[in-house]
Amino acid sequence: MKGIAHFMSGVAVATFFEKAVHDAINNQSFILLWGGIFGILPDTLDFKVGRFFEKNDVEIDPDPYDTDAQKIADAIAKAANEAYTKNKSVKVQLHTIKLGVSTWRRYSVLFDKKTNSVIVEVGPIVSTSQIPYPDTEPKEKKKRIGKAKLKGKLVQELQKPSVIDIMSGPSFRFTRKGDNLEVTFLPWHRTWSHSYTLGFALALIVGLLFGWLAGVISALAFAVHITEDLFGFMGGNLFWPFTKERTSGMQVIKASNPLGNFLIVYGCITIIVFNLNRFSPQPVLHISWYLYFLITFVIPAVILKLISRFFKIEDITQKDKVAEKIEEELAELEEDLSF
């Protein structure tokens, strides 16, 4: 889910506390802000702190002047196979390919369970807005697509290509689990930062410094973020440091889904308004809660869902076509080279 959805969820949680709303009205207290801050905090810890302290074993920095898909595939496979044969965890950082001030070379990495291999496709030059420039893929097919076999049976959360183009690239961790080779996408993400225990500990500090209610709001907002993330593809390391592994998500909502994100933000706004009204010394709305949410949320959400099909747009970055393209390219190459 997007940061704003977590942020608003935290604020919505905070408004359930009558004392907090009253403090805001009567004492001009900023206590409700703790909901927003702790609602977004787990991702802040990851993306603004944690990721920089992740130690990578292998860094793959493709040559911008002679990008070779097979070389990248071989380097990834070498790291993965080392993890399998030596039975140790190997972390790999993939770097972006910067060509100019605002141009980048896109490439994609797919861990393919069917063929138990890593497939790399070097794509077009893209702008910083991730929009591809037409006909800029490498002309030579051998440079464009590469494939390398992996030892062990491939196990991973996502069966879709990782597209690497602008700013910074992703990292992967390879771990042997019995006869399996487990691939973990962004091993630094949703680990220690996405644990209820850490949330509780940080909220305790807030509680001691700013009062018990600020602490309770902070703990709940943090917990709501972690719980919301469980509905996505990646889960969290829920009770770090007591648990060591990141769980898998329920795969109900995609983090980038515009309608899903919007409905969460909008739903939170309706909750906030509802709570502010009912805890006001002079409430403005005098309708039952179910009628309020039916009118302000359920009906608009259903209408939005129904009309959203008419507002579908093509992904201008063409990232959604990468998987299809890899398959096409691979089929062609297999015919040519009899892989």
Give the binding site for another protein (CB under 8 A): 2-5, 7, 11, 24-25, 28-30, 32-33, 36-37, 40, 44, 47-49, 51-53, 55, 61, 93, 95-96, 101-102, 127-131, 167-169, 256-258, 261-262, 265-266, 273, 276-277, 280, 284-285, 310-313, 315-317
Nearest CA-CA partner of 54 in 168, 165, 186: 186
Residue number with CB closer to another protein (116 or 162)? 162
Q: How far is the CB of 282 from another protein (least distance, A)?
A: 8
Residue number with CB closer to another protein (130 or 156)? 130
Q: How far is the CB of 8 from another protein (least distance, A)?
A: 8
Residue number with CB closer to another protein (29 or 175)? 29
Q: How far is the CB of 48 from another protein (least distance, A)?
A: 6
Residue number with CB closer to another protein (133 or 339)? 133
Q: How far is the CB of 88 from another protein (least distance, A)?
A: 21
Residue number with CB closer to another protein (141 or 160)? 160
Q: How far is the CB of 115 from another protein (least distance, A)?
A: 30
Q: Which residues of 137-163 are buried (b: 16+ CB within 10 A; e: fewer)?
A: bbeeeebbbbbbebbbebbbbeebbbb
